[in-house]
């Protein structure tokens, strides 16, 4: 389904494109730097999802509203299950401090990105495009949750 972007929508989506490019780059780099194999796997998985987000934003920038695929929805659910399994198999306090720093940086990044999607969603005039952006924002929040769960499983993020 094609639609026309306003100047503001185009500007906001260009920003989201830059954010997604940064997320892909950071997750790929951090996957290489991480010591914990499970964290490497988590970062690689999140990099792939961020690449899907980037592809979707590029489609929106071209005036096309992509359809949400069932595989995208089930992938998010699978990511959440993976994180829960990871949390159950780790011994708190055995993680490398550099890995914790990588996680903290990505958690801050995910919080920021989710917030910028909120602004973009409110400025988007096409209802179908809003739904697509809402879906991406939900996945960004799930990425943050996955990182939070990893940190909490390591005893490095205590909620009081």
CA distances from 95 to 40, 79, 98 (A): 12, 21, 9
Q: Given this model, what pLDDT does residue 97 score?
A: 93
Query: Over 60: is that where the pLDDT of 145 sits?
Result: yes
Please name every residue paired with 64 in a beta bridge, in sequence order, or none if there are none: 2
**pLDDT for residue 91:** 58
pLDDT of residue 2: 83
* Whether 34 contacts 43, CB under 8 Å: yes
pLDDT, tens digit, for every residue of 15-61? 999 999 999 999 999 999 999 999 999 999 999 999 999 999 999 99
Return the residue matching tokens 């708190």.
Answer: 92
Q: Answer for the pair 122, 12: CB distance below 8 angstroms, yes or no.
A: no
The model's pLDDT over 106-144, given as tens digits with 9 standing for 90+, comes to: 999 999 999 999 999 999 999 999 999 999 999 999 999
DSSP element (H, E) containing 84: helix 70-88
What average pLDDT does this structure show over 133-156? 95
Which domains can be identified in the chain, with CATH numbers?
Answer: 7-153 (1.20.1260)
Q: What is the pLDDT of residue 95?
A: 73
- In tens, the pLDDT along 73-101 reads 445 554 554 455 455 555 555 678 999 99
pLDDT for res 81? 43
Those residues whose C-beta lies under 8 Å from the C-beta of residue 155, and which sit 6 or more positions away, are 92, 93
If residue 128 lies in a helix (H) or strand (E), which one and from where to where? helix 127-153
- For residue range 94-108, list pLDDT tens digits in order: 678 999 999 999 999
Does 63 have pLDDT greater than 80?
yes
Is 65:128 a contact under the CB 8 Å cutoff?
yes
């Amino acid at each position: 389904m094609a639609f026309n972007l306003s100047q503001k929508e185009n500007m906001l989506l260009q920003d989201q494109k830059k954010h997604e490019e940064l997320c892909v780059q950071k997750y790929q780099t951090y996957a290489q730097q991480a010591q914990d194999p499970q964290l490497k796997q988590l970062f690689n998985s999140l990099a792939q999802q961020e690449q899907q987000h980037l592809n979707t934003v590029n489609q929106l920038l071209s005036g096309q509203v992509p359809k949400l695929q069932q595989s995208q929805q089930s992938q998010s659910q699978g990511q959440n299950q993976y994180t829960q399994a990871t949390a159950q198999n780790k011994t708190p306090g055995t993680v490398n401090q550099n890995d914790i720093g990588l996680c903290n940086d990505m958690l801050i990044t995910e919080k920021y990105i989710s917030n910028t999607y909120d602004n973009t969603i409110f400025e988007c005039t096409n209802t179908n495009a809003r739904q697509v952006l809402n879906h991406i924002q939900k996945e960004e929040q799930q990425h943050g949750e996955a990182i939070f769960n990893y940190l909490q499983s390591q005893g490095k993020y205590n909620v009081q």
